[in-house]
Amino acid sequence: MAFKPLEKMSHSVFTLDASISIYRQDELFIGNAQYRLLKQILADGSIHAAAKNLKISYQYAWHLIDKVNRLSPIPVVVRQKGGKDGGGCEVSPYGKKLIQTYAQKELELIAFIEQSNSELEGCFF
């Protein structure tokens, strides 16, 4: 029987993954769903339009925003009732700061994950 040299061992690639979640009083304040919804409300000017664009129900979107506002020391989304267009809402200056802070922390996390994944490449076989 002929000797076969060891073939290069095939192995799965290990990767590290994570996401940002901000808690207040042990309850989720802002995670990815809330962040995406706030950004969409900022763009669309209404919870209804934002929900439609994100392909989530209005009820779910309203629940997310209501919880964020309830947990927040300052309103994040302010509703405007009535008017010829039926009202709408706007993201408050505090809400805009939350969006900006979340986005910055997400970029920092992505950089950390990319660096960590590069380091993991040589650690496991």
Q: What is the mean pLDDT of each run of 10 residues along the chain (125 residues)?
A: 47 79 96 98 95 97 97 94 73 97 96 89 68
Identify the architecture of domain 30-120 in CATH.
Answer: Orthogonal Bundle (1.10)
| 100 to 22, 30, 31, 58, 68: CA distances (angstroms) | 13, 12, 13, 24, 16
Domains of the chain, residue spans: 30-120
CA 30 and chain centroid, separation: 8
